Structure formats: structure tokens, C-alpha cells
Chain A
Amino acid sequence: MKVSILQFPGTNCEYDTQHAFEDLGASTEIIWHKSETIPADTDLLVVAGGFSYGDYLRSGAIAKFSPVMRAVKEYASKGGKVLGICNGFQVLTEAGLLPGALKRNEHLHFISKHHHLKVINNDNIFLEKLNENDVVNIPIAHHDGNYYIDQNGLKELYANNQVLLKYSDAEGNDKNPNGSVDSIAGICNKEKNVFGLMPHPERAMEAILGSDDGVKMLQGFLK
């Protein structure tokens, strides 16, 4: 199992992500954004979190033109699995690989804390180790995590089981920290090979650090 992790100028979660996947037994490689190819043996490509290009213009707006993104699009179009975490989710929406956009948080604050998430759909490789309506506790750390999609787009997401995770309280009741449409925290594309979420499962790998609920999520990708 080989996980390739993208690194842009300003990415800062690539080593956490590497540590998390290596702990689970995967081999990993960090790919600098100037690379025009991604390793041929890649089983999962992760667009890691951080502040690519300092979030200039919009989060993810400049990263989408990095040389490596052409290879990412080609990889995804052939069914390759792609996971965007936090800034990675923003990059994937900007690049058009996932629908919608991430706006400034409703109350304008940068939010950094553990937050509960409810599993909405698990008929995909990412969440197949969890059950629908399971609640996990995962850190969030973002300024622009307010997911937006228009009404037609939202209907399509639901119709195709593309809504993966919603922000909730510990009991699974709706609780919205950032103003996201329908409290959406994570989605996938129609083909269910490109995944994006604002919370950081790679930061929830050990109970002693607050939660190990991220293990079950990232394990889904392991063969």
C-alpha cells in the first residue's frame, strides 16, 4: 500500500499525514508540487492540509495551477483514489475535482478544536469501516471551512450518497461550527474515488492525544 502525499509551499500537515499512514503500515512518499508526475505505484494520493501559497487570493486557488495538479486530475480521472484534508479539500474544490466551495467561517473566527462528526454515507472506501450514524471525534482547524453548494448541487449530493460527514454533537445531533450548508463536513465525487473533508483524521490517531477515531477512517484506504 503506497500513499503519496502532495506538498505545496505552505503545506504543513504532510508529515502528520505521513506518520499516520506509516503507523497503519503503509509506505509513503511526499511529492513536491513541481513534480509533473505522481509515483506509478500510488494507491492513494493525499492532498494534505496547511496554507498552500499562504491562502493568497482564496484558499487553494493558486495551488490548483501547480504542475503536479495536471497529474492529479489524470490520476483521478482513471479512478485513482484521492483524499483532500482541510486545505487539500479546498484545493480539490478549486480544481473542480469536487463540487462546491469553502467560504470564510460564518463567525469569521479561525476554529481549532475537537469536533464530533456523524457518518452519513459509508458506501465508499473511505468510511466503509464505520457505520452510518456513527459519531467520531476529530480535530478541526480552519478559517475557510464553510462549505457552500447551491440547492441543485446539494440535491445531487444527497441523491448520489456523496454527503459523507456532518458536524454534530456527541449524540449525533446537528451542530454547526462554521455555517456549512446542512452542516456538511466532508463529501466525495459522484464516482466515489475523490474525497474531501475539513476535519483532520490524521490528527486523531492516538487516544492519548485526544482521540483515535481517525484510525478507522484512514484504515478504509488500506488494502
Chain B
Amino acid sequence: MKVIVNVSLKAGVLDSQGKAVHHALDSLHFEGVSDVRVGKQIILNLETTDEVKARKDVTQMCEDLLANTVIEDYEIELVK
């Protein structure tokens, strides 16, 4: 099973990269962008086909390693 993990800085934690990209978009005259957040995507291939197990395992991976929960949030997406 393919699992996609998206990690980004928590709301309220200043995202300097997002801010810089936002400025760059402004200077390229892309209008109407109200906010930009830059995160990272981690794509995992798991042997299991059990969705409950996959979510449980990946949650633990995020808590232990993939995200630093002091400053980051994570979202887990199971892809069949």
C-alpha cells in the first residue's frame, strides 16, 4: 500500500520559506495568492494491505521520526 505523508510547519509557527515563495510569486505578478506554506512530502510503500494497521504504523513513524511535533503537523493519506 502506498502512503503519502505531508509534513508542514504548524499554524502559528512562522514559515520563512513559504513567505519567501509568496514574495517571489508577488514579484512575478501572480495575483490573489493570500498565503503560501512550504512543506515536505514523504511517500512510503508498505507491505501491508490493512488500512487500520497502515495508519497506526505510519502515525507512529511520524511521531518518532518523520515530523518534529514541536514545530510540525503531519497528514497521512492512504493510497490504494
Residues of A near any B CB (own CB < 8 A): 57-58, 61-62, 65, 93-94, 100-101, 103-108, 146, 148-149, 179
Contacts and interface: CB of A to CB of B under 8 A. Distances in A.
A101 B16 contact: no
B14 interface: yes
Contact of B65 (A65, A93, A146): A65
A96 to B, nearest CB: 9
- If over half of B's interface residues share one DSSP class (helix, strand or loop), that class is named, otherwise mixed; here it is mixed
Nearest to A99: B70
27 contacts: A57-B65, A57-B66, A58-B68, A61-B65, A61-B68, A62-B65, A93-B70, A94-B68, A101-B68, A103-B9, A103-B13, A103-B14, A103-B16, A103-B71, A104-B16, A104-B17, A105-B16, A106-B14, A106-B16, A108-B16, A108-B17, A108-B20, A146-B16, A148-B70, A149-B70, A179-B14, A179-B16
A105 B14 CA distance: 11
A156 to B, nearest CB: 14
A148 B71 CA distance: 8
A101 B66 contact: no
B13 A148 contact: yes
A107 B16 contact: yes
Contacts of A146: 16
A56 B16 CA distance: 19
Contacts of B68: 58, 61, 94, 101
Contacts of A101: 68, 70-71
Contacts of A108: 16-17, 20
Interface string B1-22: 0000000010001101100100
Nearest to A94: B68
B62 to A, nearest CB: 12
A103 B20 CA distance: 15
B48 to A, nearest CB: 22
A106 B20 CA distance: 10
B25 to A, nearest CB: 16
Interface string B40-64: 0000000000000000000000000
Nearest to A146: B16
A58 B65 CA distance: 9
Nearest to A58: B68
Q: Which of B13, B65, B66 has the most CB of A within 10 A?
A: B65
Nearest to B12: A150
